Amino acid sequence: MSEELKRRIVELEKELEAIKKESCEGRRGREKIEQMSSEVVDANPYSRLMALKRMGIVDNYEQIREFAVAVVGVGGVGSVAAEMLTRCGIGKLLLFDYDKVELANMNRLFYQPHQAGLSKVEAAARTLVSINPDVTIECHNYNITTVDNFDHFMGRIRSGSLTDGPVDLVLSCVDNFEARMAINTACNELGQTWFESGVAENAVSGHIQLVIPGELACFACAPPLIVASGIDEKTLKRDGVCAASLPTTMGVVSGLLVQNTLKYLLKFGNVTHYLGYSSLQDFFPTMSMKPNPSCDDSYCRHQSGGRDGTGEPEKELVQGVRLAYSRDEPAPPPPTVDAPAAADTSDQTSLDDLRAQMMAL
């Protein structure tokens, strides 16, 4: 090895070490602003957000600075969601990811080529703080599915807010079922509200789902077939074959996720329980699912009791799909208005049928 090459290696190692020593706060692009203002001046980054109060959309937009949101998975959806929340002035973001930025990620939004090689949480934090230094950023560069990391992850969800209490919301933006199940388990045990999100491997469809333990179905209540069958998803991946990825679909899903996050936190509008997106037909199906009394997750069953106030499994009719749990009672009377035979929902739909419909979105 030539002396010139050795010298260059030493220089690069020093540069890398300097980057690693930088805190997650990154470089500030402006001074912190102590209080949000509705003053309409070019130097006020919050004026257009505060206008939501004047227009009667939000009662107290300043409250957003009190909220802490955990974003698990800072990839194509999570990084964009984190940026949107940062620009909206969220109080605190907790970022969880163990991956590094790669040039293969450049077909997506947010990351830039010069960040290749950095951990995603480091790169994201530096960018986010440069956008809005008022936001507190907490980084965790690890895989939440390992035993030790899972315990730490639960601890941060339990006490990661600005007041050392539970975070206000968890956003699942991961790309594998193992991590989703880990988030599901943690949130069920803690009684933590969270949003699940995802983009299909064909890159043209996605979804978001609100999970409120005890009130709405968790990820294990009606899981994808691969989870229900106990298949190791790692066996499904083939060398040299990767999932498709479009920044457009990921941007749409991120926008839907954050829009509903804001509605949930600031209490305006209607928060959707499940919202799908199929770009091929510009189709946005919605539905709502109650907890499955036979859910495999014991904490889910404990949170919901498995039964409603009448002592019977709870049901709900959503967009013509009846979540059917066995119940000995007469079928409801037919609708009084004329309807085509295809719209008849008097027959209950099994969970397997419901899974198939959701997988087809």
Q: Which residues are catalytic?
A: 242
Instruction: Please tell me the chain's helix, strand, coil percentages from 3-state DSSP, rounded to the nearest 5.
Output: 40, 15, 50
- Rounded (5°) CA angle 87-58-61: 45
For 64-107, the DSSP string reads GGG-EEEEE--STTHHHHHHHHHHHT-SEEEEE---B--GGGGG
| Cα separation, 122 vs 137, whole angstroms | 10
| Cα separation, 160 vs 164, whole angstroms | 5
DSSP state of 194: E
Contact present, 203 and 246 (Cβ < 8 Å) = yes
Closest CA to 285 of 358, 186, 202, 225: 358
Contacts of 267 (CB under 8 A, 6+ apart): 59
Burial of 1 (0-12, 13-18, 19+ CB in 10 A): exposed
| Cα separation, 183 vs 82, whole angstroms | 18
For 130-171, the DSSP string reads HH-TTSEEEEE-S-TTSHHHHHHHHHHHHH-STTSS--SEEE
